[in-house]
């Protein structure tokens, strides 16, 4: 069985073993610790997390319902492969949901919040230069979620995280080429739009961030794989 190291996770948990197993595995998938197509087993995951198989089974059941793990025959498990069609669907969902979340959060942006976001962007510059993809993924997600959660009435973040969960394993593979890709820092454009209190510019920068980053890299990788298969 091929299993990546499951990263530690300090997110919210109710303290139960079942919730701990679910949170650890969900976080591992959303940050791309498992590559698409990775084979998993209940026993192997239980050994890596030092748990009994029972909470792992419950975590797998929940993750399967979220389309994050495929349950195959003979008790086999698999991180789903990504296809170009599925990727395009998820990418467009990201844009729609995250643009909506940004528009709704916009009235709550303050100067203090902008400085918080600037600090996160500075951290991303540091970890990108160091080639720390785990930290890059984690801080990038914080940058986006912190913005969306500004809206005290938000109901969209769980939907956004569901899309991230399905994209996570593949996006991690695509992001490995980020160093060799000339890219505009759209986060700095977002910060400038926040300072100018320009919601249209903020949403445009957000959409460009998604399109020029994860969508551009992911689409290119999948198209290359498709062309190689056809050839």
Say if residue 51's pLDDT is above 50: yes
pLDDT attached to residue 178: 56
pLDDT confidence band for 214 (50 / 70 / 90): confident
Partnered with residue 70 across adjacent β-strands are 78
CA distance 109 to 203: 14
Indicate which CATH number applies to the domain containing 39.
1.10.10.10
**Total structural domains within the chain:** 2
- The answer to whether residues 74 and 42 touch, using CB atoms and an 8 Å cutoff, is no
Residues 92 and 31 in one domain: no
Residue 3 domain flag:
no
SS3 call for 179:
helix
Mean pLDDT value of segment 10-33: 85
Residue range 144-164: average pLDDT?
Answer: 96
Question: Is 5 inside any structural domain?
Answer: no
Per-residue model confidence as pLDDT tens digits over 80-117 = 999 989 999 999 999 999 999 999 999 999 999 999 99
51/157 same-domain check: no
Whole-model pTM: value is: 0.85
């Amino acid at each position: 069985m091929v299993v990546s190291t499951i990263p530690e996770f300090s997110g919210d948990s109710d303290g139960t073993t079942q919730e701990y197993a679910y949170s650890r595995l969900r976080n591992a998938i959303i940050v791309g610790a498992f590559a698409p197509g990775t084979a998993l087993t209940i026993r192997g995951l239980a050994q890596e997390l030092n748990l009994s198989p029972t909470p792992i089974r419950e975590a797998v059941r929940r993750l399967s319902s979220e389309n994050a793990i495929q349950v195959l025959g003979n008790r086999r498990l698999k991180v789903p492969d990504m296809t170009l069609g599925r990727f395009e669907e998820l990418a467009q969902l990201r844009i729609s949901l995250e643009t909506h979340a940004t528009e709704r959060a916009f009235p709550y942006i303050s100067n203090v919040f902008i400085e918080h976001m600037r600090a996160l962007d500075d951290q991303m510059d540091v970890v990108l230069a160091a080639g720390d993809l785990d930290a890059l993924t984690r801080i990038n997600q914080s940058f986006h979620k912190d913005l969306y959660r500004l809206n005290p009435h938000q109901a969209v973040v769980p939907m956004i995280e569901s899309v991230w969960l399905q994209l996570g394993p593949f996006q991690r593979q695509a992001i490995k080429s980020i160093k060799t890709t000339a890219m505009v820092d759209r986060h700095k454009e977002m910060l400038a739009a926040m300072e100018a209190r320009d919601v249209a510019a903020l949403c445009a920068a957000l959409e460009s961030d998604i399109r020029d980053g994860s969508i551009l890299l992911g689409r290119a990788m999948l198209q290359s794989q498709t062309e190689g298969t056809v050839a």
